[in-house]
Structure 1
Amino acid sequence: MEERARHHLRWPQSEQMERIKTEFETEYGLPNCCGAISATHIIMTLPAVESSDDWCDQERNYSMFLQVVVDHDMRFLDIVTGWPGSMTVSRLLKCSGFYKLCEGGRRLSGPPKTSPANGVEIREFIVGGSCYPLLPWLMIPYAGKGLSASMDAFNVKHFAAGSLATRALSRLKGVWRILNKVMWRPDKHKLPSIILVCCLLHNIIVDGRDEMHPNLLLSDHHDTGYREHNCQQMDSEGEAMRETLCRHLVWSMVEAE
């Protein structure tokens, strides 16, 4: 499976990415949005000789991280796994090849769109929770009290789009229950392959347009018991991009009326 189904997990080519961006804009009002990102812990029991703080996470479980980027169909576009659960989500992102590609201009670097609200360009981006840094290509929600109406509107749209990644991980763990229980002394070198194959199978189901039986889905969050820690990193270009999106959403709502 790992060798022969790899074509089910590839970053979209330009034509497919345009369809994804169109769906995100139509459904959530976010122009040039290419996906949503999230992460989950795969919990395991390690032999005493292998136990270490490197793998012991914030909830005192031994776990391995899985980071995913999904499209509008909750199809995995990119995954990163194999890293210890003791890391923060923001640190996991920065250690990933996905981050390096985005920072190097080799991913999320397609043509910008011009907002009719103010004529400012909107580059390609993805959405993520407050545990991620605010970057020019990664939009997180506004935090704090007393937010403006435009900020609230942005957060509503952002949450709806971002929940796709959360739901995809809940579906992954619900269908492939090996990822949702405590694995008994797994081979840490083989575990990333097991996770990858489950992600490939998830995409095969999406590609085949198969429906999930409701009883297979998790009834609660994919990372039950884990608290989300906010990341304080705010890139100035990311802040400007988020403000542009806010103004665009307000303009869109006025036009719709």
Structure 2
Amino acid sequence: MAPLKKPKKAKKKRKGKDPLKCGNRGSSPSSVEPGRTVESRAGETDWWNSFWQKNSGADDFEAVDLVELLLESVENMKLKKISDHTGTSIPSDEDEGFKFFFRVSKTTFEYICSLVRQDLVSRPPSGLINIEGRLLSVEKQVAIALRRLASGESQVSVGGAFGVGQSTVSQVTWRFIESMEERAKHHMNWPDSERMNEIKSRLEMTFGLPNCCGAIDATHIIMTLPAVESSDDWCDQESNYSMFLQGIVDHEMRFLDIVTGWPGSMTLSRLLKCSGFSKLCESGKRLNGTIKLTTDKMEIREFIVGDSAYPLLPWLMTPYEGKSLSAPKAVFNSRHKAVRYLAAMAFSQLKGAWRILHKVMWRPDKHKLPSIILVCCLLHNIIIDSGDKLHDDVPLADHHDIGYKEPTCQQVDLHGQTMRDNLSRHLLLQEQV
């Protein structure tokens, strides 16, 4: 998925225990150190009761620990850090409170636990214990990881809310990320022909664009870098160090395809060209479904929509530029903007729900960050697939990439230009009917 991830090497047997590894996946969960017990099924609800009692009345649960705040303050002033404070209070209803803290319903939470259970109970590291000396249950591990991703708070703050240490939060979160990356990948697949026909039908019914397969957009994941790692390659147009996330969404704002791992200093046209999605489209292996004929016999192939930062291609429609547009062009731009808004909203929901992507990432491992981004996108899709709904105040109130100017790409493909003109005439004729 990402160009930065190192190829996996064959694992070597070690005499000591590696605190960051979850052991052999699928192995027996019975290898627990003497004197320690895994939290029982009864403990699976106990963790929530304890957490709710401790945190439901907190006045400022979103605050980070003072030490980390002081360390980050200078960098964040330069990076125009956006506050995570929403000014909302914790719901008094316990079920709603659960969603407030973990973004998902209890039913969806149980489903996520079922996905990662086998990995999280296979030879757990000796460090994953609570203050009573018991190994953390799968449920508590998942809760810790989800809260870390949802709040974007420091590991110290998240650990304090659960009664565990910073190192435990670090281990648990990464174990969860590794497992979800493998076990939940079926929640993001390019649609088969039947599903794609449904997407196209819904988009045409709602917005009038025939053969439209979705919308594309991109956002910056801002981070700090140690002085020894700082590089102009990661310094973007706003002088922030950042990593790109590009995604294509359907009518439900569900991610169909993402690419990440590339520096935020790239142009969107270059990011698109480097993506596997673009290569598949150019080779005719994607967006290659049935061509539609309009009422006046004009051909419309499958396509997605994107803003002016992208090139105009036969399979990627961008808006017309200029102020005094003809009637067909104005109609096209209006419909095009409405579909494009789906992608912008998807990113606002993604960054709003999983605030670790919205806050400035504090010195991340750039080889691990793409995995964190992917898992947040998978969780976004799981929420949609499960029929969960985010609280109204969760999506970002402002644009997901606020502070960044929208560039304009001058690349125009003649076949793309012809198809856009055909679409414009078709939409105008539809309005006149």
TM-score (norm 1): 0.98
TM-score (norm 2): 0.58
The CA deviation string for residues 179-231 of structure 1, in whole angstroms up to 9 with x for no partner, is 00001000000000000000000000011111110111101000010001000
* Structure 2 match to 1:124: 302
* Structure 1 match to 2:44: none
* Letter of the structure 2 residue corresponding to residue 79 of structure 1: I
- Please give the secondary structure, in 1, of the residue aligned with 2:181: coil
* Structure 2 match to 1:164: 342
Name the % identity: 69
- Please give the secondary structure, in 1, of the residue aligned with 2:304: strand
**Partner of residue 51 from structure 1, selected from 223, 227, 230:** 230
The CA deviation string for residues 139-174 of structure 1, in whole angstroms up to 9 with x for no partner, is 000001221011100000000000100000000000
* Letter of the structure 2 residue corresponding to residue 91 of structure 1: R
* Letter of the structure 1 residue corresponding to residue 262 of structure 2: W
* Letter of the structure 2 residue corresponding to residue 226 of structure 1: Y
* Structure 2 match to 1:27: 206
* Structure 1 match to 2:245: 66
**Partner of residue 75 from structure 1, selected from 254, 275, 288:** 254
* Structure 1 match to 2:357: 179
| C-alpha displacement of 1:121 | 1.2
| C-alpha displacement of 1:96 | 0.5
* Structure 2 match to 1:197: 375
Q: Which has the higher strand share?
A: 1
**Partner of residue 399 from structure 2, selected from 218, 221, 229:** 221
Mapped to 2, the partners of 1:82 and 1:56 lie a distance apart of 14
Mapped to 2, the partners of 1:233 and 1:239 lie a distance apart of 11
Mapped to 2, the partners of 1:146 and 1:85 lie a distance apart of 33
* Letter of the structure 2 residue corresponding to residue 98 of structure 1: F
Mapped to 2, the partners of 1:233 and 1:142 lie a distance apart of 13
RMSD between aligned alpha carbons?
Answer: 0.5
Q: How many residues align?
A: 254
* Letter of the structure 1 residue corresponding to residue 286 of structure 2: R
* Letter of the structure 2 residue corresponding to residue 115 of structure 1: T
Residue segments in structure 2 that go unaligned for 5+ positions in a row: 1-179
* Letter of the structure 1 residue corresponding to residue 329 of structure 2: M
Mapped to 2, the partners of 1:142 and 1:120 lie a distance apart of 19
Whether 1:235 aligns to 2:418 is no
* Structure 2 match to 1:4: 183
Q: Which has the higher helix share?
A: 2
Residue segments in structure 1 that go unaligned for 5+ positions in a row: none
* Letter of the structure 2 residue corresponding to residue 250 of structure 1: L
* Structure 2 match to 1:151: 329
- List 4+ stretches of structure 1 deviating above 2 A: none
| C-alpha displacement of 1:127 | 0.2
Mapped to 1, the partners of 2:393 and 2:215 lie a distance apart of 25
Whether 1:253 aligns to 2:431 is yes
* Structure 1 match to 2:283: 104
Mapped to 2, the partners of 1:108 and 1:240 lie a distance apart of 17
* Letter of the structure 2 residue corresponding to residue 2 of structure 1: E
* Letter of the structure 1 residue corresponding to residue 387 of structure 2: R
Mapped to 1, the partners of 2:393 and 2:429 lie a distance apart of 41
Mapped to 2, the partners of 1:137 and 1:169 lie a distance apart of 22
Tell me which structure has the larger Cα radius of gyration.
2
Mapped to 2, the partners of 1:46 and 1:29 lie a distance apart of 45
| C-alpha displacement of 1:120 | 1.2
Mapped to 1, the partners of 2:328 and 2:386 lie a distance apart of 39
| C-alpha displacement of 1:66 | 0.2
